Chain A
Amino acid sequence: MTSLSTLAAAEGSAAAAATGITSAAWLLVALPLLGAAVLLLGGRATDKWGPLFATAMSWAAFVVGFLVWISMIGRPADGRAMHLTLFEWIPAGSFNLQAGMLVDQLSVAFVLLVTFVGSLIHVYSIGYMEHDPDKRRFFAYLNLFVASMLLLVLADSYLLLYVGWEGVGLASYLLIGFWNHNPAYATAANKAFVVNRVGDFGLSVAIMIMFVTFGTVTFAGVSQAAGGASEATLTAIGLMLLLGACGKSAQFPLQSWLGDAMAGPTPVSALIHAATMVTAGVYLVVRSGFIFNAAPDAQLVVVIVGAITLLFGAIVGCAKDDIKKALAASTMSQIGYMMLAAGLGPVGAAFAIFHLITHGFFKAGMFLGAGSVMHGMNDQVDMRRFGALSGAMKITWVTFGLGWLAILGVPPFSGFWSKDKIIEAAFVGEGWRPWVFGLTAMIGAGITAFYMSRLFFMTFHGKKRWTDDVHPHESPLVMTVPMMVLAVGSALLGLVLSIGGTFTHWLEPVVGSHGEESPVLAVPVITVLTLLLVAGGIGLAWMRYWRDEVPVVAPTGSLATQAARRDLYQDDVNEGVFMRPGIHLTRSLVFADNRGVDGAVGGMAAMVGGTSSRLRRVQNGFARSYALTMLAGVVAIFALVWVIQ
């Protein structure tokens, strides 16, 4: 298995130089970047047409991506990957890094997802942000995000990926804090920023290790060199990469920022914090398959992290009453699935990406739906104040419903095709692992069914629990059309892509192929069991949140519910484990610094300062003494030169 994947990776390194439309792939990044630049630099002059321009730039990028994809389909499977050298980036002696783009099956899948969903969300935002005085800035950031994300997935080296990685982080930070006049939102942005820094630190350390051990940081170079590296090194790199992935993808233990990130405008939540950016961690792990496949320990950690997160998110999702936070918890959980699959190696990697794509559609659709609901409900987010909206908002109800069916994994909707495969893959293996991970994934599916149905029923069904001043109404077409398009994707994409294993075959040259390995349980058994659990989840939710009255004020609930409501005490843990000791550590360091280090540094500074003020007196302002200094200098130089001679 390992050898096969190395082979596949080596193939990737031999990517041909880009020709035809692929050589214009740089436009993918340049167009949205241009949009962002025009809007940010153009200032208020672009207020009128800026949003439309940004949207057009995003669509233009989609068109380019689409053409690149079409031309890629036209080539045989082993000639699809192409490499585009942009410019010589850092020429520094022996370390010569070129900025280039790797256009292969994996990155093109991401390009299509990012540009298509991104463009739809641009369109949606035109309606959603219509009355915001600052919408130009909003669109500029959106474009900046799209550009950075495309750079991230198209980069041909870890360093360039890192640039995109920081770019999406920046865009995310700016957009979470978009309404930063609200201090809580600004705090949320800062939280996301700080937690992400922890992850970025891991990624940068990984890059440094690669540079030191392999002398290169390109994907092609590292994948070739990885064959000869020790497992310990690869494990270290893998774990550091995982740390980065955890930060960006809100995986345990760096998951805490995602819920708060919902402070941003809803289109942002849909695009960045559901469909694309948060999946960058999965991309990183899959892209680095050549490292993880050769470092089983790191791989195991990836799987464990994925399993923990998928349960964690699911449990938290059960207790949230804020519709966006519930969706955020679900995102976390679904990415847990992807991470788990990505950690399984070639068996699961393709399905991780597959689920990532379908998830991108249905989760973005549901977020847009949530936005539409908020739009009609005076920006309320408390589901206990919703109910029976199916009548008032028909389109939103139907599109959201399709997304709901998709995430539940009900056949034949998209989620079924991708998630079921992940559960199957989790059951593959020997010893205790398939049982633990497989059952976790399966139970997770059941819980998912419960909390998503809870969300759906509380919002659209049951009795009206509206506050008095709301008059729910359907959103304008500019918002509903993107939702409809995404709903179609939620319904059919999975089916279309999985007929004959189209998508997994498509990705095979990148993620590596694997033999036929059967799960420890028969496939039909797994499917039936999963569906039974899902049905159970729906039924339970139906009983509690449709049939029964839903209290307007949340009941105290059991200890477990309370824990889940508080995100399983994630912030308390962070505070207790990191922040307080951190503060103490800082204090004691400051103390030690004042006493010890400052003694040295301060002494140095005092010495420099003292010397400086003494020397300053030489600069007395008299031209005659300046001339004398010069003369003395000449004499001294003479003396020196003659002595040396």
Chain B
Amino acid sequence: MTALITSLPTEFKVAQVDYSAIAPMLIVTAGALVGVLVEAFAPRRLRYAAQVGVALVALVAAFVVLVTVSVDAQGLTLERAVVIDGPALFLQGTVLLMSVLGVLTMAERFGGESPDAFTPMGAAVPGSPQEASAMRAGLMSSEVFPLTLFAVVGMMLFPAAGDLLTMFVALEVLSLPLYLLSGLARRRRLLSQEASLKYFLLGAFSSAFFLFGAALMYGYSGSIYLGDISKAITSASGELDGLLIPGVVFLLVGLLFKVGAVPFHSWTPDVYQGAPTPVTGFMAACTKVAAFGAILRLVYVGLEANRWDWRAGVIAVAALTMVIGSVLSVTQTDVKRLLAYSSIAHAGFILVAVLAFDKLGVAGTMFYLVAYGFATIAAFGIVSMVRQGGSEASHLSQWAGLGRNHPVVAAVFAFLLLAFAGIPLTSGFTAKYAAFSPAIAFGGRAGVSLVVIGVLCSVITAFVYVRLIVLMYFTEPAGGEVVAEMPSPMTTVALSIGTLVTLGLGIFPAQVLSLAESSSVFLR
């Protein structure tokens, strides 16, 4: 025991920080802090404009810095705690772009005073006099923008984390704001609060798994750095092998929870349904990107050496995720829940690519994330537009006949659904192709069987989407005035970008695909 104490460093070593590598994260953090200060000091009528401005400027600036400066600063920094390499940069850039779209949709006001999707006062009891008076006073939860930025910081750090503790911190930084954001829906407050609480409880549960796994891995390898863990696995003495498998499984459980893989998916439909719709879009797209980034890094850098020991578990998870996600989407009657199950199924498809254990698998995963994310944000953006009597018409029966009154909205939504289904000429097709082909090429028998399951499940989900399209176009409206609100220019921009990217990646995937391929090598 005394040996332990003497082995502590007596000299403090100043960490080397490559500021140009982490500048994008710092910029977003600064933006979030400025947002908090705006919330504290700016007069109320200026807050909305200031918050939206700060958030957009921070995100765009971070992206610009990322593509101009950080790309040349690749390497391990902050004493190996942060790794800025190809995948990290690619995913950080993706998160930044998507969160720009996310912020644009969150800022939608539909002609009102405050962001339409959010409650004026999150702390008030639903239906209470306080809430009513807050509504009258024109209060608003403009905190959503700094919260989003904080979440983005976590999402950027998550796939760039070089050790398990940084990864855990990133996990919490991205999760906590999301727990809050989920509870801020303006309408159906109780559902929203319930969603928030469930997300928090289950999230904490999974975080505990992750932390426990990290502790076990430290016990096994004596290090929290992914590179060291990999080395320890390769040169295993066999003495502490009992810790390895539980550690791996617990770590994976923590991450698989975030992507909504079965059997850690149960929060997804409830939270997606309860959260404010733009937040759902943001969460669905960006959290997936970040969490899959972390999975890729953990698996490819840290745990690949003993993948034969734990692969079967993840294969089972992937298969279950695809099957359960697509089968359960069949009986959904709520658009948001339907999209939630579809997102679960997509998580399964992405896992297939992850399990290829090849450079191309990394590229396929990343490409799929881009394709899925943009389509998802646009799809949820449209869900928030379709309304009946001032609140979202999320029940499927309310979507009947939408194509007659709002042909453009219905057409765009139908297009996005086709993308989710993976129809050619949409990004969904190229993404599935990019994800499945490495699985066939490098995944062996398991890879091929997963792809077969994936294709079958795609058929099931395609059925669901086509049914929704048929509902929109060939069914008489059920009655009641369902309208698609005219969105503000900002949301329109977000929706158009999301749709155009979906189309563009379907027709000209080459650029993004080759970018993903060229940035698919992890630094250790």
Contacts and interface: CB of A to CB of B under 8 A. Distances in A.
A87 B508 contact: yes
B389 interface: no
A644 interface: yes
Given A87-B510, A630-B205, A613 B263 contact: no
A618 B327 CA distance: 13
A641 B266 contact: no
A634 B253 contact: yes
B514 interface: yes
A394 B312 CA distance: 86
B510 A88 contact: yes
A612 B331 contact: yes
Contacts of B177: none
B263 A619 contact: no
A640 interface: yes
Given A634-B253, A642-B245, A609 B330 contact: yes
B264 interface: yes
A554 interface: no
Given A634-B249, A640-B316, A641-B313, A623 B510 contact: no
B313 A637 contact: yes
Given A608-B330, A612-B330, A634-B249, A93 B437 contact: yes
Contacts of A616: 328, 331
Contact of B331 (A88, A609, A638): A609
B510 A644 contact: no
B63 interface: no
A89 interface: yes
B269 A637 contact: no
Contacts of A559: none
A92 B202 contact: no
Contacts of A613: 331
Interface in B310-326: 310, 312-313, 316-317, 324
B206 interface: yes
B78 interface: no
Contacts of B508: 87, 89
A634 B269 contact: no
B324 A640 contact: no
A637 B437 CA distance: 26
Contacts, number: 97
User: In terms of DSSP, what is the predominant structure of the interface of chain A?
Assistant: helix
B215 to A, nearest CB: 16
Contacts of A640: 312-313, 316
Contacts of A625: 266
Interface string B203-226: 001100100000000000000000
Contact of A91 (B198, B324, B510): B510
A640 B315 CA distance: 10
A636 interface: yes
Interface centre among B249, B509, B510 (most CB of A within 10 A): B510
Is the interface on chain B under 10, 10 to 19, 20 to 34, or 35 or more residues? 35 or more
A615 B328 contact: yes
B205 A627 contact: yes
B461 to A, nearest CB: 11
Given A638-B249, A641-B245, A626 B266 contact: yes
A611 interface: yes
A621 interface: yes
A88 B433 CA distance: 17
Contact of B324 (A89, A615, A627, A634): A615
A634 B312 CA distance: 13
A636 B320 CA distance: 12
Contact of A619 (B209, B269, B317): B269
Contact of A634 (B209, B267, B511): B209
Contacts of B309: 641, 644-645
A90 interface: yes
Nearest to B257: A630
Contact of A637 (B253, B329, B463, B511): B253
A642 B250 CA distance: 14
B249 A623 contact: no
A439 B202 CA distance: 86
Given A87-B508, A609-B330, A638-B249, A644 B264 contact: no
Contacts of B209: 634
Give 8 closest A-B pairs by Cβ, nearest first.
A633-B263, A626-B266, A644-B312, A637-B313, A612-B331, A612-B330, A88-B510, A641-B313
Interface of A: 87-93, 605, 608-609, 611-613, 615-616, 618-619, 621, 623, 625-627, 629-630, 632-634, 636-638, 640-642, 644-645
21 contacts: A91-B510, A91-B514, A92-B437, A93-B437, A608-B327, A612-B329, A613-B331, A619-B266, A621-B270, A623-B201, A623-B202, A626-B198, A629-B266, A630-B205, A630-B253, A632-B263, A633-B263, A638-B246, A638-B313, A641-B249, A641-B309
Given A93-B437, A630-B202, A645-B309, 17 more contacts: A87-B511, A90-B509, A90-B510, A91-B510, A605-B463, A615-B328, A616-B328, A626-B202, A626-B267, A629-B263, A629-B266, A636-B263, A637-B317, A641-B245, A641-B249, A641-B310, A645-B245
Interface of B: 197-198, 201-202, 205-206, 209, 245-246, 249-250, 253, 257, 262-264, 266-267, 269-270, 309-310, 312-313, 316-317, 324, 327-331, 433, 437, 460, 463, 508-511, 513-514
